[in-house]
Amino acid sequence: MSVTLSIIYLIATVTFVFGLKRLGHPDTAKSGNLIAAGGMGLAIVGTIFIHDLEVPTIIYVLIGIAILVGTIIGWLIAMKVEMTKMPELVSLFNGFGGASAALIGIVEFGNTNISATSASVVATILAAIIIGAITFSGSLMAFGKLNGSVKSVIKIPQYNIVNNLFIVSVVALAAYMVAGGIDSSLLLYALLAGGLVYGILFVMPIGGADMPVVISLLNSLTGIAAAITGVLYDNMVMLVGGILVGSAGIILTVAMCVAMNRTLVSVIFGSFTATAGPEGVNKTLGSIKSTTASDTAIMMNYATNVIIVPGYGLAVAQAQHVIHELEELLTGKGVNVKYAIHPVAGRMPGHMNVLLAESNVEYDMLVEMDDINPQFNNADVVLVVGANDVVNPAAHNDPSSPIYGMPILDVENSKHIVVNKRSMNVGYAGIDNELFYNAKTAMLFGDAKKVLTDLVAELKNM
């Protein structure tokens, strides 16, 4: 590798670290992203043009076409995607990264004289293929689950054992190929197929509420796949870039697990079982009280502190713009309004923040769980829109609940609670919510967008 290219890779690596650092603060995030993107562009251009290989023109043309096609598609997707679809988009891109790593591994397997190469190189190639394949099919599966095309949470008895035996045999096959230096394309494709199948098996049983964890984990795996290809080429920018993504993904995965009081193992091995049916029958939680938009408007109009708890249902109803209007209106009337954001609100880490930012909500009005929880005591009205499990007191006081121990927003400490829901259906986790039966709670039934529009209209008339 030429000195110039090494220096380019070094600069690119530094931009990645620096870019990630700046992504950590709202004021510098945008420039951080651009800095990292610049470094990436530099690394790509350098790789294409700085080398001492005799490369026929046709290859340059092909690379050019590939880059042009990918750039146009990527750009169009990025500009058009709705913010509610971010989790799907990230899953899809994760899958592409994984596929790319697996393909590189396959080509390198063909180019390498396996029986004459050191075991560590063969192991690296096979690892790139397996991890790339798992990331690819797992991400597509997650994509399918998120957009609703794959609905079922399949639970075969002994699923975990089947799953684990499967991945162990895939790894054993790889180990056999490495140890024996076996150059068999048949076994290679078996390994590839094994990785693809495992990706599906691994994501399929994971419940919807655990999706933020899965996305973080897959994100991390893509990084690891990239890092492994970096080892293969002894390429520092790939290695460091991949490792940074890998460790970032792990941190977010752990953060999401903590936010749900679940261990990573229990997410992957899916001990989360919805027991809505029998529980709903066995328990009589009391009666519910419903209210109207005008009553709610009056209550809010005379409140000093109002806290809004938005959930994914808000985004599904496309009501994030109306809620901002409501918040502005209340603020104009001298009411102190804040949003309480649970770490797993939405379908990926930080998703709710993006959805509200899209509606021009100031980010300093979005208060994280640990900071807002003490403030519920002073709240006159809490408006819960499209959220359910993250405000379910069962997490505190019902050891039999599947969400027991999960940190929640303590909305029950406030003076009045208004919950907007379309119906009494259970939440994403599929469990009943005793908050709705609380004496302080009033239910405001209806589509979030319509209900909030009514609320805004009522408030305007006051």
- Hey, which residues between 366 and 385 contact other proteins (CB under 8 A)? 366, 368
Comparing CB distances to other proteins, the nearer of 81 and 165 is: 81
Sole window of 144-152, 245-253, 306-314, 433-441 interacting with other proteins (rule: CB under 8 A): 245-253
Comparing CB distances to other proteins, the nearer of 222 and 438 is: 222
Examine residue 104 and tell whether it contacts other proteins (CB under 8 A).
Answer: yes
Comparing CB distances to other proteins, the nearer of 108 and 454 is: 108
Per CB under 8 A, the list member of 10, 107, 162, 165 interacting with other proteins is: 107
Chain residues 304-363 in contact with other proteins, contact rule CB under 8 A? 341, 343, 348-351, 353-354, 357-358, 360, 362-363
Among 210, 389, 410, 454, the one annotated catalytic:
389
The residues, ordered by sequence, that sit 6+ positions from 218 with a Cβ below 8 Å of its Cβ are 91, 94, 98, 135, 138, 139, 142, 203, 249
Examine residue 63 and tell whether it contacts other proteins (CB under 8 A).
Answer: yes
Examine residue 14 and tell whether it contacts other proteins (CB under 8 A).
Answer: no
Comparing CB distances to other proteins, the nearer of 200 and 243 is: 243
Sole window of 148-156, 187-195, 250-258, 438-446 interacting with other proteins (rule: CB under 8 A): 250-258
Sole window of 19-27, 267-275, 313-321, 395-403 interacting with other proteins (rule: CB under 8 A): 19-27
State in angstroms the smallest separation of the CB of 169 from other proteins: 20
Per CB under 8 A, the list member of 11, 167, 187, 236 interacting with other proteins is: 236
The residues, ordered by sequence, that sit 6+ positions from 356 with a Cβ below 8 Å of its Cβ are 310, 320, 323, 324, 339, 366
153-182 mask for other proteins (x: CB under 8 A)? Answer: -------------------------xx---
Comparing CB distances to other proteins, the nearer of 274 and 354 is: 354
- For the chain, what is the HEC assignment? CCHHHHHHHHHHHHHHHHHHHHCCCCCCHHHHHHHHHHHHHHHHHHHHHCCCCCCCHHHHHHHHHHHHHHHHHHHHHHHHCCHHHHHHHHHHHHHHHHHHHHHHHHHHHHHCCHHHCCHHHHHHHHHHHHHHHHHHHHHHHHHHHHCCCCCCCCCCCCHHHHHHHHHHHHHHHHHHHHHHCCCCHHHHHHHHHHHHHHHHHHHCCCCHHHHHHHHHHHHHHHHHHHHHHHHHCCCHHHHHHHHHHHHHHHHHHHHHHHHHCCCHHHHHCCCCCCCHHHHHHHCCCCCCCECCHHHHHHHHHCCCEEEEEECHHHHHCCCHHHHHHHHHHHHHCCCEEEEEECCCCCCCCCHHHHHHHHCCCCHHHEEEHHHHHHHHHHCCEEEEECCCHHHCCHHHHCCCCCCCCCCCCCHHHCCEEEEEECCCCCCCCCCCCHHHHCCCEEEEECCHHHHHHHHHHHHHCC
Comparing CB distances to other proteins, the nearer of 130 and 237 is: 237
State in angstroms the smallest separation of the CB of 323 from other proteins: 15
Chain residues 71-100 in contact with other proteins, contact rule CB under 8 A? 71, 73-75, 77-79, 81, 83, 86, 89-90, 93-94, 96-97, 99-100
State in angstroms the smallest separation of the CB of 211 from other proteins: 13
State in angstroms the smallest separation of the CB of 153 from other proteins: 24
The residues, ordered by sequence, that sit 6+ positions from 294 with a Cβ below 8 Å of its Cβ are 458
As a whole number of angstroms, the distance between CA 43 and CA 64 comes to 15
Sole window of 111-119, 188-196, 425-433, 437-445 interacting with other proteins (rule: CB under 8 A): 111-119
User: Quick one: CA dihedral 162, 246, 351, 359, positive or negative?
Assistant: negative
Chain residues 207-226 in contact with other proteins, contact rule CB under 8 A? 215-216, 219, 222-223, 225-226
> Active site includes 389?
yes
Comparing CB distances to other proteins, the nearer of 82 and 457 is: 82
Chain residues 112-151 in contact with other proteins, contact rule CB under 8 A? 118-120, 123
State in angstroms the smallest separation of the CB of 445 from other proteins: 30
Examine residue 50 and tell whether it contacts other proteins (CB under 8 A).
Answer: no
State in angstroms the smallest separation of the CB of 372 from other proteins: 12
Examine residue 51 and tell whether it contacts other proteins (CB under 8 A).
Answer: yes
Annotated active-site positions, please? 389
